[in-house]
A and B are shown apart, each in its own frame.
Chain A
């Protein structure tokens, strides 16, 4: 809201004028007396009832009955009548007291209405008691149902509107299944690869074995042939050698035969000359007679020797005996 900065006078002009009721009496008598200040102070205004209204000093002229009471007690009249009456009463109120009463008479307030009213001080009161039940809980405050305003629009989410499980789950399941299949495929492929590697290994092993066998066979063959060759060569060599030897032997034999042919008689002759062929008689004499002879000689010599020795011994003994005796 826009606030306007207004001066006091302007404020007065914009809003309803704040002024007390300007008393305008019908009789413009003693206006000065009745002059109220333009802007009346309500605190000192007589019309304003201050204080308790129920213990008030009753002033019938000035008392204005309660508007609902008026409405209640009086049948509904036309508005204009009410307004006029109010204006009259006001005038009566604020009018000058009027002429003084004649000596005998007294001014008396009366009611001039059609129907008389009992003007009593007593204010009709009724006693009403109100007491809440001793220990009643505070009842639940009523639900605040605000007043419906606006257009009613309804929405409702049906079963398959927002979220269709089958639709949503499809990609996830696809992914899961795909991953599982992939993993399984990988594993199976790995196994197959391993199996094929093993098979390959075995094939190569078989081929290798075969080739190895062939190689070994050929090696063996070579070895045998080499050995055979060696053996044959050695055999041949030996045969050659033997042949040579035999040839040499034959040659040697021939030669020796030749040389030995006349060797024999010369040899025999020289031997006979040298006496290598002994005469058997001579031999016999030598072998039998001579040893006997020698033995006899020995014996003889022995006895002589012994005799000499004995003699020597005797001589010695005698000599010794005689030397001892001296």
Chain B
């Protein structure tokens, strides 16, 4: 082992020249040892970044040979294979081939894999697949399963929280009894380690949750009905108040996708999500706020939504959001394109929500008072869409039967 020449990397299998590189690596993948497979997979990963190598690999049907690898015993082999598949999915041809191959069912099965990095890689692959709408369609069948996973995770977390609370109580008792400092320090040290470990595990779980949520939102944008039928609204509810910003973002995005069909809107009203959402309007993160306004925008289209929201005094919150975003005229070039667009999205959604709310008499009354504000914002804006939206809002507000 030590007598290997210097140029050989122990982590990568040697790569043949030219056309033979990929076939030879695939031949090496047939060997029974997991180390060899890992090395060959690492070399494949390096090679397949190049599209010139990737296209013949994909078109000549080498992808099916990876199916065996996905069912391998060693979890690191499985996760590496998923990484390689992820590389494939960055190209549209690879995505198409993967969608039409029998690998998809193996990937679905791997979602329940015991090893966490493997699951994350599978989720990443699936997320890349959703870049194209046909991929998202293919994954719609997966949505109930994902929601189930989220539910299980939620239950697990609740169980953990309870046990953590119990532990804390026990610890408090112990601290009262024992006086020796050493023991306390030791315990604190252990606690720190444990909390660190728990933190790592938690981070990984959060990442997984994030990926699952983003998958759900992507698929629901195509068609929200499978998610709704699997009771997605109640599953997503606790995630809206999650401490992590990303999860909240993804959860609100998923909620927005869910609120598009009428069934979703009714569910939202039934489950009394609106108080939660109105609370989220004052969230720190811009994206969370934008998504929440989007959900509200869709929900107030229904009459029930309108009434609930008016009760919750949503109008003032939305007007605050409108005025918070500075008019674009003042600093159009200083702001980055992305920032501009996020603010623009926020403003647009708020205007639409207000338009819908203005159809209710109560809302109309409130907004009539705020009409000068709306007019002002309409005149000051440069953006065509914002102007249009503001006009529409004013029209609705000033409509008389």
Q: Which positions in A face B, CB cutoff 8 Å?
A: 199, 202-203, 205-207, 209-210, 212-214, 216-217, 220-221, 224
Contact among A202, A212, A213, A221 for B359, CB-based, below 8 A: A221
Known contacts: A209-B294, A209-B349. The answer to whether A217 contacts B341 by CB under 8 A is no
Chain A residue nearest in CB terms to B338? A199
Known contacts: A199-B338, A212-B260, A213-B297. The answer to whether A206 contacts B356 by CB under 8 A is no
Contact among A205, A213, A220 for B352, CB-based, below 8 A: A213
Instruction: Kindly count the residue-residue contacts between A and B in the assembled complex, taking CB atoms under 8 Å apart.
Output: 48
Contacts of B260 in A (CB 8 A): 212, 216
**The stretch of B57-65, B298-306, B315-323 that contacts the partner chain:** B298-306
Contact mask for chain B residues 34-65; partner A; CB cutoff 8 A; 1 contact, 0 none: 00000000000000000000000000000000
Sample 8 A-B pairs with CB under 8 A, ordered by A number: A209-B256, A209-B297, A210-B348, A216-B260, A216-B298, A217-B359, A220-B301, A224-B359
Contact mask for chain B residues 279-306; partner A; CB cutoff 8 A; 1 contact, 0 none: 0000000000000001001100111000
A203 touches B301 (CB 8 A): no
A206 touches B345 (CB 8 A): yes
A199 to B340, CA, bound (A): 12
Contact among A199, A210, A216 for B385, CB-based, below 8 A: A210
A217 touches B355 (CB 8 A): yes
Contact among B221, B302, B337, B349 for A213, CB-based, below 8 A: B349
Contacts of A224 in B (CB 8 A): 303, 359
A124 to B294, CA, bound (A): 139
A270 to B349, CA, bound (A): 84
Contact mask for chain B residues 352-384; partner A; CB cutoff 8 A; 1 contact, 0 none: 110110010000000000000000000000000
A220 touches B302 (CB 8 A): yes
A210 to B384, CA, bound (A): 14
B301 touches A206 (CB 8 A): no
A213 to B344, CA, bound (A): 15
Chain A residue nearest in CB terms to B337? A199
B310 within 8 A of A: no
CB A186 to nearest CB in B, in angstroms, measures: 11
Q: Given A213-B352, A214-B392, A220-B356, list of 18 further CB < 8 A pairs?
A: A199-B341, A202-B341, A205-B221, A206-B341, A207-B348, A209-B349, A210-B345, A210-B348, A210-B385, A210-B389, A212-B260, A213-B298, A213-B301, A213-B349, A213-B353, A217-B359, A220-B302, A224-B359
Contact among B337, B344, B355, B392 for A206, CB-based, below 8 A: B344
Contact mask for chain B residues 319-338; partner A; CB cutoff 8 A; 1 contact, 0 none: 00000000000000000011
Chain A residue nearest in CB terms to B345? A206
A214 to B345, CA, bound (A): 14
A199 to B353, CA, bound (A): 24
A210 to B351, CA, bound (A): 9
A216 to B352, CA, bound (A): 11
Contacts of A210 in B (CB 8 A): 345, 348-349, 352, 385, 389
